[in-house]
Amino acid sequence: DIQMTQSPSTLSASVGDRVTITCRASQSISHWLAWYQHKAGKAPTLLVYEASYLEGGVPSRFSGSGSGTEFTLTITSLQPDDFATYYCQHYNRHSWTFGQGTKVEIK
Amino acid sequence: QVQLVESGGGVIQPGRSLRLSCAASGFTFSSHVMQWVRQAPGKGLEWVTVISSDGSKKEYVDSVKGRFTISRDNSKNTVYLQMNSLRAEDTAVYYCARVDILIGFTDYWGQGTQVTVSP
C-alpha cells in the first residue's frame, strides 16, 4: 500500500508569511494528488487536484506543485482565514490515502 | 449547489450496529462514485469505503472489512453506511463525500456526523 507522509505536522506562522507544506509518497503516484483545507467542525474543502490544478474559487495565493513522490502546497501570503489543517490525498479510483495532516497555527 | 447531509450518528455500545445516511442534492447523484471518510478524535482523515455510481462495486479499508457495508439508493439520492460489530476505535466523525467523475479525487464533503462507541 502507498503511504503518504506530510511535513511538518505543525507549522507556526504569521499573517503575510509564505508557507510551504510537503507531502511525500512511498512510491511514485505520478500527479494523482489533491490538497484539502479542514477547519474544526466544518467540511473539508478541496484546494488543488492533479497536484497543481487550483479548484475553482480557491484564492490564487494557494498553489500546488510536484510529481512522482514529492509534492508541495504553498500559500504565498498567509491570511487569517488560512489557519487550519491541511491534508494531501492520493487517489487511484480504488482507494484514497491521506497524509497525516499539517496544522497551520498562528505564531 | 452540491449538498451532502449526513445523519444517523450517535452514542452506541460496543458490538452494536448503526446505520448512517447521506442525502445528496444539487447534482446528478447516479453519475457519481460516493465514499465515506472518517476522523477519529485527535487524528487525521481516514478513507473508509467507496461505492460505484451504480452500486455494483465496493471497496473498504481493511479495518472495517466484514463489519461495514456501503450501499446506495439512486432513486432517493442517498448513500448509506451500515456499521456492525462496532468497536471503540470506530469512534469518529464520519463524512460522506463525492468523487469527481473524470479524475477520481474527492471534490465535495458533507459536514459530518459523530459516532461514539462507548459502554
Residues of B in Cβ contact (< 8 Å) with A95: 47, 50, 59, 61
Q: Is the pLDDT of residue B41 over 90?
A: yes
Q: Under 8 Å CB-to-CB from B6, ≥6 apart: which residues?
A: B20, B21, B22, B94, B95, B96, B110, B111, B112, B113
Q: Under 8 Å CB-to-CB from A74, ≥6 apart: which residues?
A: A18, A19, A20, A21, A62, A63, A64, A65
Mean pLDDT of A50-62: 97
Q: Is the pLDDT of residue A78 over 90?
A: yes
Q: Is the pLDDT of residue A104 over 90?
A: yes
Q: What percent of chain B has pLDDT over 70?
A: 100
Q: Is the pLDDT of residue B95 over 90?
A: yes
Q: To the nearest whole number, what is the mean pLDDT of chain B?
A: 97
Q: Is the pLDDT of residue A95 over 90?
A: no
Per-residue pLDDT, B103: 87
Mean pLDDT of B50-61: 96
- φ, ψ for residue A79 (rounded to 5)? -110, 160
Q: Between B35, B59, B112, which is nearest A43 by CB?
A: B112
Residues of B in Cβ contact (< 8 Å) with A36: 45, 106
Please indicate whether, in this complex, the C-beta atoms of B105 and A92 are within 8 angstroms of each other.
no
Nearest Cα of chain B lies from the Cα of A72 at a distance, in angstroms, of 17
DSSP sequence for A63-86:
EEEEETTEEEEEESS--GGG-SEE
C-beta neighbour count of A26 within 10 angstroms: 13
Per-residue pLDDT, A76: 95
Q: Is the pLDDT of residue A6 over 90?
A: yes
Q: To the nearest whole number, what is the mean pLDDT of chain A?
A: 96
* Side chain identity, residue B29: F
Per-residue pLDDT, B34: 97
* CB burial of residue A102 (10 Å; 0-12, 13-18, 19+): buried
**Sign, CA torsion A21/A81/A61/B103:** positive
Q: Is the pLDDT of residue B11 over 90?
A: yes
Omega within 30 of 0 (cis) for the link into A8: yes
Nearest CA-CA partner of B110 in B39, B19, B10, B30? B39
Per-residue pLDDT, B74: 98
Interface check B49 vs A, CB under 8 A: no
